[in-house]
Amino acid sequence: MTTKKANLIAYDPSGIFLDDTGVSPADLRALAPRLEAARTEVLDEDLRLLAEGVVPKEKDPLDAAFLELPERILAEYRADQSGSELGRILQTARRLQNAVDRVVVLGIGGSYMGARALMDACCEPYFNELDRGQRGSRPRMYFEGNNVDNDASQGLLKLLGNGRPAETIEDRWAIVVISKSGATLETAAALRQFMAALKQSLGGDSQKLAKLVVPVTGTSGKLFNLANALGCNELFRVPEGVGGRFSVLSAVGLLPAAILGLNVVSLLEGAAAMNEHFRTAPAGENAVLDYVGAGHLLEKESGATIRVLNVWSKALESVGLWYDQLLAESLGKEGRGATPITAVNTRDLHSRAQQHQQGRRDKLFTNLIVDSWRCDPLRVGHSELDQDSLNDLADKALPEIMTAAIQGTNEAYHGDGRPTADLHLPQVDEFYVGQLFQMLMLATVVEGRLIGINPYGQPGVEFYKKNMNRILGRR
């Protein structure tokens, strides 16, 4: 079992060791040499091949540069706070905070899911509903370009004024568009539509438009060319050797996070702390390796091909959805790979629990638990109207009820031989969310190496794109 250390996420797989699963602590210990060999491959061989630029066919693509990204960005920032990439991100964020009241992030998949997860996890609940003062003058943030939903796009354009002249800061808005190539149809179409509305709101002024469209893209491609044609004041890079779903700790996630006023330095420091833990802790004390080992054993020994991430905080739902993409795109290949599902509890105990409790025995339940809530405990409270029969719980607070729900759910699952594991987040802030992102990314690539599946690339995604373009009459 992973030991809990100060300032680190803790992982406890003891709930998988049940008679019905056929998995014991000895099995996890026996897997340790293979887990540590996979770690060595990820840390040494993959990074060496990437640095040399000679990638064998079986490892192509090799997007392993995310591994060292937190340390590199932090080192550059500490050496040159104004001229470094992170320094420029922070400067752009401050400029937009002072210029606009809304920012629309256009991107799909890894180009927006990490940013959305950061907003939902680290901002105040109902952030976009707060007035500008309550938001600390930080812009509201919306996410589009991730679908071709006509009504959703029209609804957001209407909210933004449908091109109405931007006379006050409350009327002004900006676009952050994220796409490595700029060729993804959903994002490209949205950029054209939203940019037309933004230009109209600026009275057709192209110079003002260039200041309020901030691209995050590659060093070439359609979006890069469009940004140059627009004369965009700032342009940030999607790093080479970093795949979209592994890019949350690059400008892809850092720019939206900085615009929201989040502590992006702490976010990167958390990821770097997880890297250090991953590199140095042995199996049995290593959250990443033990997480991989538990999932692998349950899939192999008891057919647990569905991995349910039970998120016990609404703030972490988007983190779960980000992880759904990470696991599905990375390991869902060659007719293999576990299926990820995110459940938000206690909400989804009233929709999914029946199937989870008495349905097929093909699931591993991982509880993502918040140990310390950011707000003061809210008690049920005493009432003269006790028709709801809650006065016996009047002195109980919501965190106590949540703890009872987690314990009660685990006991119910264990009573029927259904495996669980607990992943403890000391609190929800940038440092620990950075740890969580990095842990799950590391675990995903380690498992890929363990089972012989390349965790990078997503060749299956290209099929729908080709068919969609053909049906639309495009080559």
**Contact, 416 vs 358, CB < 8 A?**
yes
Backbone conformation region of residue 472, classed left if phi is above 0, alpha if psi is from -120 to 50, else beta:
alpha
3 state DSSP class of 16: helix
Say which DSSP state 242 is in: B
Give the whole-angstrom CA distance, residue 100 versus residue 103.
7
What single-letter amino acid sits at 370? V
Strand, coil or helix: what is 421? strand
- Locate 249 and state its tokens: 């700790």
Q: Which two tokens stand for residue 97?
A: 């905070």
Of 339, 340, 299, the residue nearest 319 (C-alpha)? 340
Question: In terms of C-beta distances under 8 Å and separation of at least 24 residues, what long-range contacts does 255-258 make, across chains too?
Answer: 255/89, 255/92, 255/93, 255/176, 255/214, 255/216, 256/103, 256/105, 256/115, 256/118, 256/119, 256/141, 256/176, 257/115, 257/118, 257/119, 257/122, 257/430, 258/89, 258/90, 258/92, 258/93
Instruction: Write out the two tokens for 103.
Output: 């920012």
Instruction: Answer yes or no: 350 catalytic.
Output: yes
User: Which residues of 382-440 form beta strands (DSSP E)?
Assistant: 420-427
Catalytic residue among 329, 356, 363, 447: 329
Cis peptide before 61 (omega within 30 of 0): yes
Q: Quickly count: other Cβ atoms within 10 Å of residue 60's Cβ.
A: 11
Q: Choose, from 314, 382, 465, 466, the residue flagged as catalytic.
A: 465
CA quadruple 89, 131, 345, 148: dihedral sign: negative
Residue 457 zone, left/alpha/beta (φ > 0; ψ -120 to 50; rest):
left
* 449 CB neighbour count, 10 Å cutoff: 22
Distance CA 179, CA 23 (A): 43
Triad 176, 180, 184: Cα angle to 5°:
85
CA neighbor of 403 nearest in space, from 424, 386, 431: 424
Q: Which residues are tagged catalytic?
A: 329, 350, 465
